[in-house]
Amino acid sequence: MQMTVNVAGQVGQIKLGQNKALWPLFETVINSIQSLEDTDTEQKIITIEALRNPNIQSRMNKDGTQSEEQTHFEQFIVTDNGNGFNDANFKSFNEAYSQLKVKKGCKGIGRFLWLKAFEIGTHRTVFYN
């Protein structure tokens, strides 16, 4: 039986409070680890870049003085030298709740966490094969 999934509806069901804001990043790192598990590469590398806007924000303190604080993170770039989006992985990515990595404990919801964390259409995600 084939069924369609309303992605916006699914994303709307996910609860992702501020205390879980980094879950999408954790999911991405887990995907990198799993990709490295499935590759024959001897030197396994994961790189995480956390990018901020270089401008400094000013804030007014309770005593009337100003202080500077760093801006929030605007982008995370995670790269690894694992298998990447080979045909099987890409097919699995396009299937909601894929069973490809169920033996590794995966539930197939990581992509929905990303959609929940970022406004659809205003951020770009780039996948490299």
Per the structure, the count of domains in the chain is 1
Q: What value, to the nearest 5°, has the Cα angle with vertex 100 and ends 94 and 106? A: 95
Whether residue 111 lies inside any domain: the answer is yes
Whether residue 45 lies inside any domain: the answer is yes
Whether residue 63 lies inside any domain: the answer is yes
Whether residue 98 lies inside any domain: the answer is yes
**Going by C-beta distance under 8 Å and a sequence separation of 6 or more, which residues neighbour residue 26?**
none
Q: Per-block average pLDDT, block size 10, for the chain (129 residues)?
A: 81 84 88 91 94 81 84 86 86 83 83 76 45
**Going by C-beta distance under 8 Å and a sequence separation of 6 or more, which residues neighbour residue 94?**
none
DSSP 97: T
Q: Which domain holds residue 107?
A: 21-117
Whether residue 11 lies inside any domain: the answer is no
How much is the pTM? 0.72
User: Among candidates 99, 111, 127, which has minimal Cα distance to 24?
Assistant: 111
pLDDT of residue 49: 94
Whether residue 84 lies inside any domain: the answer is yes
Whether residue 36 lies inside any domain: the answer is yes
